[in-house]
Amino acid sequence: MTERTRGLAKGDFEQLSEFRYQMRRFERFSEQAAQSEGITPLQYLLLLHIKGYPEREWATIGELAERLQAQHHGVVALVSRCEALKLVKRKVSEADRRQVEVHLLKSGEKLLERLAELHRAELRSLTSSFRVPQIDL
């Protein structure tokens, strides 16, 4: 067998493997960090996507579903759990009464700030080993 398999060399597979390994290491770190704060990794991502939504401080259920790559009804349940933890609140949109806006509460902001700082520090530590493979398309 040659070193190339369907156009990919052994080194290509090594790069892809290393990338996925480093990505999984970061995901595992993120899971543990969220759990140490008493929330699930998905709850952390919800808070992050609300705060990180472009050009405003809130997001709709539909926008969050897209960001999380999840079903609408699943995001509704996730928001309900975060509401019960007093991390977020829902608000009917004034511009479109059919839309529900999800806003961070102060406790959600503080929790997110702590976790985001940890994540940034971890990303900095991975910078040298977290290389995106160059793949010819």
Q: What is the chain's mean pLDDT, rounded?
A: 90
Above 60 in pLDDT, residue 4? no
Rounded alpha-carbon distances, angstroms, from residue 69 to 12, 18, 39, 103: 28, 25, 19, 19
- For the chain, give every domain's residue range: 9-126
What is the reported pLDDT for 132?
56
* Backbone torsions φ then ψ of 50, nearest 5 degrees: -65, -55
d(CA 49, CA 87): 13
As its CATH architecture, domain 9-126 has: Orthogonal Bundle (1.10)
Largest Cα separation within the chain, whole Å, is 64
| Residue 114 confidence (pLDDT) | 97
pLDDT tens column, 68-103: 999 999 999 999 999 999 999 999 988 888 899 999
Question: Are the CB atoms for 93 and 134 separated by under 8 Å?
Answer: no
